[in-house]
C-alpha cells in the first residue's frame, strides 16, 4: 500500500488525460466532416481511424513496457506532449491538406482523413499499457490495475462529452476546444514528468517485486481471452450505434445527442471497470460465470433501452433513459478488466498482454461499427438489429457458462434471450411514432404511413402526408399549392432570376420542390444531391412526386452536398437551391457557414443566385447578407448573388400563370380558390416595405443588416447556429 500511495497522483492525471482525448475526437470529426462530407462512409472512416490508432498505440506501448528498465512514466509524459503538439496544429493541418485534395476521389479522401487522425491516436493508445505495466510492477494484480486506470481515464472521456455538449463547443468552438485539450495534455505531461523526476533512481521505478509472489496460473487461455475481448467490444459498439440512432431521432438530430449518448456510454464503462476491481481478488474459473452474468444482463438492458425510451417519449424527455444506457454499457465494461485478470499474468509482460487484449477489444469495436453502420442498417430495422444483438449476447453468455461448468444455468440464459426476441414485436410497435410526436402521439394524423430505415437515416411519412427526416418535419409529399403552401417558395425562382436553365439542388427530402423546379418551363437541367437514398424510396410511393424520378431533366447523386460541390467546382449553375434542414440540427452549420457560401459562389455562373433556407436563423441571414453584395429574404429563404438581383414581378406573374405540373395547369383560374391563391402569391413583393412581415414576408438586404446588427456570423469553427440553441 505504501508503494501504491506514491502513484495515486496518476489517477487524477489519467482522468485528465481522457478528457482531451474525447474533445479531440468530437472536434476532429466535425472538422473532417466539413471537409470530406458527413455521410455514413465518412463517419465510419473517421471512427475506424480513431480505433485503429488506439489499437496500434496499445501494441506499441505494450512492447515498450516489456523492458524492465523502461522509464514508463517519462514515456507517458512524452506521449501527452506529442498529442498536445499535434492538437495545436491539427485544424490548420486539416485545412491545408483539404486545399490540396479538393476534388480527390472518395477512396483517396478517405485514406487522407484516416491518416490525419492516426498519428495522434497511436500516442493516445500507448498510454494505457504503459501505466498498467507500471502499476502491475507495484501491485501484482492485473485486473485491479486495469480496472482503476480504465475507470479514471474513461470517466475523464465521459466528462469531456458532457462538457463539449454544454460548454466547449458552445462557447469555444472548434479551435478553442482544441486549445483547451492541448493545454490539458501539457498539464498532464508536466504532472507525470514531475512524478517521474521525483522518483528517479528509486526502487519504485524497478521491475522487481518487493516480496516474492505465489505462482500465477491463468484461468482463461490467452487466445480465448482475445476472442472474448473482441466479442465484448463488438457487442458494445453495435449497441452504441443503435442507441445513437435512437436518441438522435428522438431529439431531432440535435448535435448534443451524440455527446450525451457517448458520455452516458463512457460513464457506464468507467463505473463498470471500477465495479470489476471488487471481483479481481482471485484468479478462478468461477469468474467466467460472473462474466457470463454481466454479458447477459448488459444485453437484456441494452435491448430494453429502445422500447423504454419510446414509451417514455410521450410523457418526458427520452434523455431520462440515458442511465439505462450507462447501466448496460457498464455491465459490458466490467467484463474487460475481468478478462484481463484471468488471462494476463502480473509480471513484466503484463503491459504487453494487456495491449493485445485491448487491440482485440478495439478490433471488435471497429468491426461492430462497420457491420452495423455499413451493412445491417441497410437490411435490418432497429428492431431487427436489437434482436440479433440480444441473441448474440445470450449465445456468448451460454458459451462462458459452459466453460465454467455451470450447465444448469444454460437453459435460463437461452430462455432469457428467446423471450426478449419473441417480445420484440409488441415492445417495438409504434417506436418511431412515439419518438417523433411525443406528447402529440395518438392524435389524428400522427399515425405513420411510411417508415424507411437506411444506414443514412430514418425517413417517415405521417397519415397527413408530412415527411420527417431524423424525427423532424421536413416538408410535404405534395407538389400542389392547394395542399402545400410552401410550394410558393420554389415557384418564386422566376422572380429572382430571369433564365434559370441549370439548377443545382442541395437536398431533396420528399421531392416536392424538385418536382416543381423540374417542371419550370425555363429549366433545362436539375442536378439534385441527396445524402439519404431513403428519400427516393419514399418518393417512389407517392404519385404526386414520383414523376421526378423518371424526368429526363433530373440528375440525382447520393452524396453529401458540400462534398459533391467541392469535387465538382468546374460545374456552373444559374441557380443553387437549398431547402435545407433546421439551423439547430447536427451539421446544419455545413450548409450555412461562411465557408459554405464561398464554395457555393464558385459554382455560380455570372449573375447566378444562391437561394437557400435559413429556417429563420437571424445569424444565418446576416452571414449571407454580409458575404454577398446583393440579397433578398423571401420568408425563411435568402436569395444572394454577386450581381444585382433581376427582380421582375411581371415575368414571375406570366410564368406562374402558365405553370404546368406534369402537363396539368398549376392554377385553374375558373376556380375562385385558385384565383385567390394566385393573388396571394403575387402579393409577396408588396411585403418588402412592411415591418410586420419579419418572419414570412420579403426583406431587403439593408433592412436585414440593420435588424441583425448585433449578431455574429456563422463559421465552420464557431458553429454559431447549432450548439447554442
Going by C-beta distance under 8 Å and a sequence separation of 6 or more, which residues neighbour residue 266?
Answer: 22, 154, 155, 157, 158, 161, 329
Between strands 664-665 and 660-661, the pairing is: antiparallel
Average the pLDDT over 403-416 and give the result. 86
Residue 1 has pLDDT above 50, yes or no: no
Residue that terminates a domain, selected from 390, 407, 439: 439
- Where are any strands of DSSP class E within 408-498? 448-454, 457-462, 466-469, 472-476
Cell of 92: 490548420
Residue 514 has pLDDT above 90, yes or no: yes
Please report whether residue 106 resides in a domain: yes
The reply to whether 602 and 495 lie within a common domain is yes
**Other CB atoms closer than 10 Å to residue 47's CB: what's the count?**
20
| CA dist 357 → 127, 138, 312 (Å) | 15, 21, 38
When mean pLDDT is compared over 118-132, 267-281, 396-410, 415-429, the highest value belongs to 415-429
| CA dist 671 → 525, 661, 674 (Å) | 32, 17, 5
Please report whether residue 466 resides in a domain: no
Residue 105 has pLDDT above 80, yes or no: no
Tens of pLDDT, residue by residue over 201-233, are 554 444 444 444 455 566 778 888 899 989 988
**Distance of alpha carbon 185 from alpha carbon 23, whole angstroms:** 11
Provide the pLDDT confidence category of residue 239 given band limits of 50, 70 and 90: very high
**Distance of alpha carbon 685 from alpha carbon 639, whole angstroms:** 14
Cell of 480: 400542389
Residue 494 has pLDDT above 80, yes or no: yes
Would you say 505 and 565 are in contact if contact means Cβ atoms under 8 Å apart? Answer: no
Burial of 273 (0-12, 13-18, 19+ CB in 10 A): buried
Cell of 626: 454580409
Residue 530 has pLDDT above 60, yes or no: yes
CA-closest candidate to residue 324, choices 307, 294, 302: 302
Tens of pLDDT, residue by residue over 167-203, are 999 999 999 999 999 999 999 999 888 877 776 655 4
**Distance of alpha carbon 432 from alpha carbon 438, whole angstroms:** 10
CA-closest candidate to residue 508, choices 465, 477, 480, 541: 477
At which residue does the C-alpha cell 448585433 appear? Answer: 710
At which residue does the C-alpha cell 473517421 appear? Answer: 46
When mean pLDDT is compared over 42-51, 138-147, 346-355, 570-579, the highest value belongs to 570-579
The pLDDT of residue 204 is 47
544 phi and psi angles, rounded to 5 deg: -70, -30
| CA dist 168 → 24, 25, 384 (Å) | 11, 13, 37
Residue 98 has pLDDT above 80, yes or no: no
19 phi and psi angles, rounded to 5 deg: -65, -55
Output the domain CATH number for residue 321.
1.20.1250
CA-closest candidate to residue 596, choices 572, 616, 576, 571: 576
The reply to whether 269 and 383 lie within a common domain is yes
Tens of pLDDT, residue by residue over 423-436, are 999 999 999 999 99
Q: For the chain, give the mean pLDDT.
A: 85
The reply to whether 368 and 409 lie within a common domain is yes
CA-closest candidate to residue 199, choices 27, 77, 291, 80: 77
Residue that terminates a domain, selected from 181, 207, 233: 207
Would you say 361 and 233 are in contact if contact means Cβ atoms under 8 Å apart? Answer: yes
At which residue does the C-alpha cell 504532472 appear? Answer: 191
Tens of pLDDT, residue by residue over 666-695, are 898 889 998 998 998 888 888 876 544 456
607 phi and psi angles, rounded to 5 deg: 85, 0
Q: How many domains does the chain have?
A: 3
The reply to whether 415 and 493 lie within a common domain is no
**Other CB atoms closer than 10 Å to residue 564's CB: what's the count?**
19
The reply to whether 23 and 87 lie within a common domain is yes
Please report whether residue 656 resides in a domain: yes
Average the pLDDT over 444-467 and give the result. 92
The pLDDT of residue 200 is 64
Provide the pLDDT confidence category of residue 525 given band limits of 50, 70 and 90: very high
**Distance of alpha carbon 187 from alpha carbon 442, whole angstroms:** 54
**Distance of alpha carbon 544 from alpha carbon 261, whole angstroms:** 39
**Distance of alpha carbon 639 from alpha carbon 350, whole angstroms:** 64
Residue 461 DSSP one-character state: E
The reply to whether 570 and 653 lie within a common domain is yes
**Other CB atoms closer than 10 Å to residue 46's CB: what's the count?**
23
Residue 612 DSSP one-character state: E
Average the pLDDT over 542-550 and give the result. 94
**Distance of alpha carbon 72 from alpha carbon 131, whole angstroms:** 7
The pLDDT of residue 147 is 64
> What's the whole-model pTM score?
0.88
**Other CB atoms closer than 10 Å to residue 261's CB: what's the count?**
24
The reply to whether 199 and 252 lie within a common domain is no
The reply to whether 385 and 508 lie within a common domain is no
The pLDDT of residue 41 is 64
Structural domain boundaries, residue 257: 219-439
Residue 247 has pLDDT above 90, yes or no: yes
The reply to whether 496 and 350 lie within a common domain is no
The reply to whether 226 and 278 lie within a common domain is yes
**Distance of alpha carbon 255 from alpha carbon 723, whole angstroms:** 7
Percent of the chain with pLDDT over 70: 87
Please report whether residue 265 resides in a domain: yes
**Distance of alpha carbon 449 from alpha carbon 435, whole angstroms:** 15
Average the pLDDT over 149-173 and give the result. 89
Please report whether residue 465 resides in a domain: no
Residue 348 has pLDDT above 70, yes or no: no
Residue that terminates a domain, selected from 384, 415, 439: 439
Tens of pLDDT, residue by residue over 579-609, are 887 888 888 999 999 999 999 999 999 999 9
The pLDDT of residue 429 is 93
Output the domain CATH number for residue 641.
3.40.50.150
Residue 310 DSSP one-character state: H
- How far, rounded to the nearest angstrom, does the alpha carbon of residue 22 sit from its chain's CA centroid? 13
Please report whether residue 415 resides in a domain: yes
Residue 91 has pLDDT above 60, yes or no: yes
**Distance of alpha carbon 83 from alpha carbon 178, whole angstroms:** 11
Tens of pLDDT, residue by residue over 637-662, are 999 999 999 999 999 999 999 999 88
Provide the pLDDT confidence category of residue 493 given band limits of 50, 70 and 90: very high
- The half-sphere exposure of 46 on its side-chain side, counting CA atoms within 13 A, is 22
Please report whether residue 451 resides in a domain: no
When mean pLDDT is compared over 52-56, 347-351, 700-704, the highest value belongs to 700-704
Provide the pLDDT confidence category of residue 39 given band limits of 50, 70 and 90: low
The reply to whether 190 and 302 lie within a common domain is no
Residue 458 DSSP one-character state: E
Tens of pLDDT, residue by residue over 45-86, are 777 777 778 878 877 877 777 776 777 778 888 888 999 999
The reply to whether 253 and 305 lie within a common domain is yes
Please report whether residue 448 resides in a domain: no
Between strands 698-700 and 502-506, the pairing is: unpaired
Amino acid at each position: 500500500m505504501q508503494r501504491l500511495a506514491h502513484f495515486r497522483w496518476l489517477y487524477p492525471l489519467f482522468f485528465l488525460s481522457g478528457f482531451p482525448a474525447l474533445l479531440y475526437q468530437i472536434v476532429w470529426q466535425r472538422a473532417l466532416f466539413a471537409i470530406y462530407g458527413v455521410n455514413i462512409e465518412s463517419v465510419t472512416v473517421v471512427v475506424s481511424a480513431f480505433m485503429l490508432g488506439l489499437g496500434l498505440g496499445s501494441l506499441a506501448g505494450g512492447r515498450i513496457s516489456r523492458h524492465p528498465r523502461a522509464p514508463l512514466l517519462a514515456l507517458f509524459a512524452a506521449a501527452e506532449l506529442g498529442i498536445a503538439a499535434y492538437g495545436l496544429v491539427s485544424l490548420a493541418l486539416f485545412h491545408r491538406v483539404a486545399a490540396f485534395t479538393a476534388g480527390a476521389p472518395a477512396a483517396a479522401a478517405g485514406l487522407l482523413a484516416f491518416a490525419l487522425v492516426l498519428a495522434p491516436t497511436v500516442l493516445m493508445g500507448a498510454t494505457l499499457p504503459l501505466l498498467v505495466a507500471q502499476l502491475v510492477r507495484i501491485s501484482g494484480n492485473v485486473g485491479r490495475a486495469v480496472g482503476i486506470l480504465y475507470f479514471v481515464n474513461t470517466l475523464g472521456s465521459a466528462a469531456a462529452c458532457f462538457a463539449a455538449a454544454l460548454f466547449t463547443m458552445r462557447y469555444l468552438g472548434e479551435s478553442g476546444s482544441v486549445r483547451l485539450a492541448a493545454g490539458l495534455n501539457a498539464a498532464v505531461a508536466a504532472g507525470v514528468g514531475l512524478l517521474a523526476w521525483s522518483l528517479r533512481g528509486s526502487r519504485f521505478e524497478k521491475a522487481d517485486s518487493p516480496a516474492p509472489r505465489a505462482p500465477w496460473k491463468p484461468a482463461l487461455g490467452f487466445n480465448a481471452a482475445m476472442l472474448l475481448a473482441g466479442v465484448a467490444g463488438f457487442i458494445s459498439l453495435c449497441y452504441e450505434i443503435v442507441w445513437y440512432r435512437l436518441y438522435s431521432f428522438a431529439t431531432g438530430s440535435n448535435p448534443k445527442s451524440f455527446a450525451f449518448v457517448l458520455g452516458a456510454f463512457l460513464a457506464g464503462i468507467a463505473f463498470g471497470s471500477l465495479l470489476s476491481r471488487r471481483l479481481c481478488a482471485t484468479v478462478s474459473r468461477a469468474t467466467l460465470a460472473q462474466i457470463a452474468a454481466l454479458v447477459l444482463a448488459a444485453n437484456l438492458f441494452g435491448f430494453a433501452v429502445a422500447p423504454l425510451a419510446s414509451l417514455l417519449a410521450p410523457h418526458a424527455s427520452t434523455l431520462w433513459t440515458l442511465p439505462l444506457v450507462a447501466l448496460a454499457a457498464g455491465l459490458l465494461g466490467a467484463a474487460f478488466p475481468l478478462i484481463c485478470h484471468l488471462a494476463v499474468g502480473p509480471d513484466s509482460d503484463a503491459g504487453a498482454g494487456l495491449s493485445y487484449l485491448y487491440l482485440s477489444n478495439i478490433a471488435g469495436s471497429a468491426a461492430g461499427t462497420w457491420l452495423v453502420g455499413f451493412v445491417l442498417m441497410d437490411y435490418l430495422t432497429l428492431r431487427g438489429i436489437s434482436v440479433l444483438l440480444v441473441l448474440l449476447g445470450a449465445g456468448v453468455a451460454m458459451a462462458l457458462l459452459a466453460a465454467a461448468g455451470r450447465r444448469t444455468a444454460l437453459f435460463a440464459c437461452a430462455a432469457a434471450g428467446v423471450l426478449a426476441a419473441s417480445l420484440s414485436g409488441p415492445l417495438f410497435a409504434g417506436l418511431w411514432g412515439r419518438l417523433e410526436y411525443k406528447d402529440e402521439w395518438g392524435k389524428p394524423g400522427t399515425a405513420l404511413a411510411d417508415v424507411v430505415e437506411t444506414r443514412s437515416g430514418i425517413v417517415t411519412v405521417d397519415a397527413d402526408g408530412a415527411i420527417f427526416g431524423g424525427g423532424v418535419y421536413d416538408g410535404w409529399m405534395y407538389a400542389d399549392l392547394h395542399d402545400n403552401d410552401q410550394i410558393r417558395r420554389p415557384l418564386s425562382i422566376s422572380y429572382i432570376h430571369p433564365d434559370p436553365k441549370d439548377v443545382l439542388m442541395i437536398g431533396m427530402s420528399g421531392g416536392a420542390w424538385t418536382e416543381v423546379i423540374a417542371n419550370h418551363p425555363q429549366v433545362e437541367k436539375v442536378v439534385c444531391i441527396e445524402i439519404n437514398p431513403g428519400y427516393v424510396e419514399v418518393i417512389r410511393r407517392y404519385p404526386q412526386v414520383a414523376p421526378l424520378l423518371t424526368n429526363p431533366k433530373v440528375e440525382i447523386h447520393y452524396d453529401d452536398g458540400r462534398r459533391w460541390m467541392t469535387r465538382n467546382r468546374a460545374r456552373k449553375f444559374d441557380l443553387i437551391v437549398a431547402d435545407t434542414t433546421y439551423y439547430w440540427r447536427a451539421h446544419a452549420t455545413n450548409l450555412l457557414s461562411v465557408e459554405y457560401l464561398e464554395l457555393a459562389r464558385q459554382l455560380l455562373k455570372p449573375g447566378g443566385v444562391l437561394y437557400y433556407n435559413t429556417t429563420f436563423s437571424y445569424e444565418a441571414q446576416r452571414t449571407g447578407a454580409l458575404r454577398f453584395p446583393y440579397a433578398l429574404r423571401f420568408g425563411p429563404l435568402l436569395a444572394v448573388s454577386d450581381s444585382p438581383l433581376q427582380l421582375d414581378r411581371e415575368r414571375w406573374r406570366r410564368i406562374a400563370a402558365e405553370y404546368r405540373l406534369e402537363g396539368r395547369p398549376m392554377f385553374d383560374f375558373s376556380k375562385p380558390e385558385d384565383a385567390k391563391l394566385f393573388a396571394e402569391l403575387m402579393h409577396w413583393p408588396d411585403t418588402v416595405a412592411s415591418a410586420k412581415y419579419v418572419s414570412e414576408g420579403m426583406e431587403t438586404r439593408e433592412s436585414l443588416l440593420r435588424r441583425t446588427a448585433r449578431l455574429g456570423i456563422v463559421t465552420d469553427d464557431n458553429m454559431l447556429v447549432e450548439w447554442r440553441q
